[in-house]
Amino acid sequence: MAKIEARLEELGIHLPDAPAPAANYVPFVRTGNQLFVSGQISNGPEGLIRGKLGDGMDVEEGAMAARFCGLALIAQAKAAIGDLDKLRVVKLVGFVNSTPEFTDQPKVVNGCSDLMVEVFGDAGRHARSAVSAASLPMGVAVEIEAIFEVA
């Protein structure tokens, strides 16, 4: 069994199916040794995770929503490449549906960042942006996109 697949099993993590695009775009593009994965929205086992941070949704709930984005990012990368052992996380860009007063976007996006390090180890350490958005598609709490390097 591949190293990352074994790590996922050890952690009790089951990847979702790679989500289909919701509009006129592709879920990922590979160019050279880089894989760009389109933004993945917060979607858990019970469906879309909707809400606005700072207005009825707290940092812990937001971080869990971001973790689900991370699972979808890994699922898309697996669909694109097949072998997760060939991947290094280069950059994440996280968008957090939040009020103007909310300033803990980095703590929310940590839900995804922490997952990447849990799963990929040092190859999961990455550059990152975590920004606020006045709203996100379908009212979701978080959307995150990723760039991976392919060995």
Quote the pTM value. Answer: 0.97
Place of tokens 């060939």: 86
Tens digit of each residue's pLDDT (9 = 90 or more) over 17-51: 999 998 999 999 999 999 999 999 999 999 999 99
| Residue 55: band (very low, low, confident or very high) from pLDDT cuts 50, 70, 90 | very high
How many angstroms separate the CA atoms of 64 and 26, rounded?
A: 25
The structural domain count of the chain equals 1
Tens digit of each residue's pLDDT (9 = 90 or more) over 84-138: 999 999 999 999 999 999 999 999 999 999 999 999 999 999 999 999 999 999 9
Domain that holds residue 44: 3-150
How many angstroms separate the CA atoms of 117 and 121, rounded?
A: 5
The CATH number of whichever domain residue 129 belongs to comes to: 3.30.1330.40
